Amino acid sequence: MSEEVVLAGHIALDILPAIQEGVSFKDFFVPGRLQQVGPAHLATGGCVLNTGLALHKLGMKTRMMGKVGNDEFGQSILNLIRREGPSLTQYIRVDPESQSSYTLALNIPGYDRVLLNFPGINDTFHAEDIEPDSLSGARLFHFGYPPLMKRMIDNDGEELVTLMKTAKSKGLITSLDMSMPGSTSDVTKVDWRKLMTRTLPHVDIFLPSIEEILFMFEPETYQKLLKESENEEIIGLITSDIISRVADQILALGSTVAVIKVGHKGLYLKTSSRKLLGNEWIKRELWAPCYKTKVVGTTGSGDCTIAGFLAGILKQLPPDQVLNSAVAVGACSVESNDATGAIVPWEQVQQRIRSGWERLNLQDRPGGFIWSDNLQLWAGSNEQER
């Protein structure tokens, strides 16, 4: 049986200590202070495993490709994957010469998570780690987190361009997820505009967060918003004009579909005039508010939102159903401390949607958007002209 989707890129072990509610973010990070936390939970992490395992749990045929070291963290990662399906480790390489990646994820209740990542073996990943024949039988190729993979972004993304170009030449739909480069890392010196200009002509669906794409495309805007937010979350300062502007830049550089994650404000979609996914996808502009749920942890929620989006693409659904399914899967994700612990099969997600699942921020209308009862989404100017 052939797989429908190939996931490749960053793999890590997530270490998630339990942190009690009522903790002040600023008080938690006081130098010299000992903070007591609860038991640590180990979970799979990184794009390949978060998005890949979510797709697997949704019922998609999934093939995951990446690298781990032959160390305790690597064995933990493989064991966690095997619990979900023994065959899912088939294409994950074990390198005895390198250390596995890990992420210390601090989920402080009421705040977005803080992630401390060691890239490890991911820095050695390159285009030849995926043999072209391994893509046979797939319909979609998804790659994630190149900013945390040194060889993929060296030389203005030469390896990333080669990889995405190869996948597209095989007739696969190609999608790309990003990550925020660390503030103390050399990757902050990368010419992201140049790298994206070279890469996006080979990317059909580009799915960054608003923070990531502003950092890469409009660093001055990003720094301005960061200053206004006093170095905390900038989501509250994001306007529809900003999102539409960067989406236009994504489409102008060659992608057919721009999907931008906007944290608790939901998921934004803008498409070009190209017919990659059919007439229903031409020149659309939609914004999906999140579904209301009890947030336990936000680690990997963006990856799971992407899983919901890609599952909808594989099922050849129209964009409104794809968007609503994406934020629904993302809402399921935050109901557990790790990324995929609360993900349920596709039909159960759809049942929650059909049951009248309450939405967040319906009173917070994005500028220039109107609510569509038919689509259950905010419709932008492109949409209103249809």
Phi, psi of 317 (to 5 degrees): -85, 160
What is the maximum alpha-carbon separation in the chain? 59
What is the layout of strands, in order, in the sheet containing 114-118? 40-45, 12-17, 102-106, 114-118
- 176 lies in a domain? yes
Q: What is the pLDDT of residue 1?
A: 35
Residue 80 resides in a domain? no
Tell me if 69 is assigned to some domain: no
Tell me if 235 is assigned to some domain: yes
Average pLDDT of the chain to the nearest whole number: 91
How many domains does the chain divide into?
1
In tens, the pLDDT along 115-140 reads 888 989 999 999 999 987 889 899 99
Q: Look up the domain containing 272 and give its range.
A: 5-9+46-64+125-384
- Which CATH number covers residue 143? 3.40.1190.20
Asked if residues 336 and 297 have their Cβ atoms less than 8 Å apart, the reply is yes
Q: 285-324: per-residue pLDDT in tens?
A: 999 999 999 988 888 899 999 999 999 999 999 999 999 9
Residue pLDDT, tens place only, 337-376: 888 999 999 999 999 999 999 999 888 889 999 999 999 9
Residue 327 pLDDT greater than 90, yes or no: yes
Whether this model's pTM surpasses 0.85? yes
Could you tell me if residue 41 is inside a domain?
A: no
Asked if residue 131 is part of any domain, the answer here is: yes
C-alpha 152/C-alpha 141 separation (Å) is: 16
Whether residue 88 is contained in a domain is answered as: no
CA-CA distance, 343 to 325, in Å (whole number)? Answer: 12
pLDDT in tens, 229-269: 886 789 989 999 999 999 999 999 999 999 999 999 999 99
Would residue 91 count as lying in a domain? no
Q: What is the mean pLDDT of residues 64-71?
A: 96
- Report the alpha-carbon distance of residue 30 to residue 35 in Å, rounded: 9
**Token pair for residue 73?**
């963290």
Phi-psi region of 254 (alpha: psi -120 to 50; beta: other; left: phi over 0): left
H-only helix segments in 88-239 = 150-169, 192-199, 210-217, 219-228
